[in-house]
Amino acid sequence: MTRLSVNINKVALIRNARGEDLPNLVQVAKDCESFGAEGITVHPRPDERHIKYSDIPELKEVVSTEFNIEGNPTDRFMEMVLKHKPHQATLVPDKPGALTSDSGWDTISNAEFLKEVTAKLQDAGICVSIFVNAKPEFVEGAKAVGADRIEFYTGDFARSFHINPEEAVKAHVEAAKKANEVGIGINAGHDLNLDNLRYYKESVPGLLEVSIGHALISDALYYGFKNTIQMYRAKLD
């Protein structure tokens, strides 16, 4: 079964717009779990425009499923993750001012750095996932540095899905086969939605987890959180 992890960054963005505590991030995380989410994902950025570093201990206290923290493994990020010990840390090569994550690691040219970071996190009992573009060589590189999982960047798939679904998912299928061959778990995320999620899940062998935020939160404005999470879960069942 493929697990659904709900990224609640956009909920925090709405909260921050008024400088108050509405919506309450902790309550939203708890509700998402009660509605069927099997994980909660957050991606604190250097400018804290949505998730704040101060949110992390409160969320860690209440999340009872998988707590996944994404981000660029800067000194500040590593200090926070090692202190609060989420179940999973997803390493993303974001530039400081990035609007969103739009590319993965070159796990070959960054091998020494990623190996060091991965070892530190695993020594603390944290599962490590490395965000990569769907290329077999980057999957092999992630395995070589010791990562537990890779997370495929699926923005390229989503952009091409309505033009030619089979061609759009082709690279992801090949990269997934390599992941299964070398023995590394597969996560995926970015622009997955109600239109393309089932096709992606049924095409990519061994998909363990998807992390979805922007589309799911947008759909929840129309359908409500409970209905929306169950609709996404149905696409994965």
Dump pLDDT digits (tens) for 92-120.
Answer: 998 766 666 677 999 999 999 999 999 99
In one letter, which amino acid is 107?
T
Between the alpha carbon of residue 59 and those of residues 26, 82, 141, the distances in Å are 6, 15, 32
Task: Extract the tokens encoding 76.
Answer: 């500040």
Measured CA to CA, the distance from residue 151 to residue 92 in angstroms comes to: 9
pLDDT of 169 above 90? yes
DSSP 43: -
Query: The pTM is what?
Result: 0.96
Q: What is the pLDDT of residue 202?
A: 98
Inter-CA distances, 87 with 14, 63, 134, 140, 142, Å = 26, 10, 24, 23, 19
* % the chain with pLDDT above 70: 97
Work out the pLDDT band at 38, boundaries 50, 70, 90: very high
Q: Mean of the pLDDT values across residues 24-38?
A: 98
Cite the active site residues: 43, 70, 190
Contact in structure between 59 and 42 (CB atoms under 8 Å): yes
6: which strand partners? Answer: 40, 212
For residue 132, give the 3-state DSSP assignment: strand
What is the end-to-end Cα distance of the chain in Å, rounded? 7
Q: Can you tell me the distance from the alpha carbon of 129 to that of 118, in angstroms, rounded to the nearest whole number?
A: 9
What percent of the chain shows pLDDT beyond 90?
Answer: 95
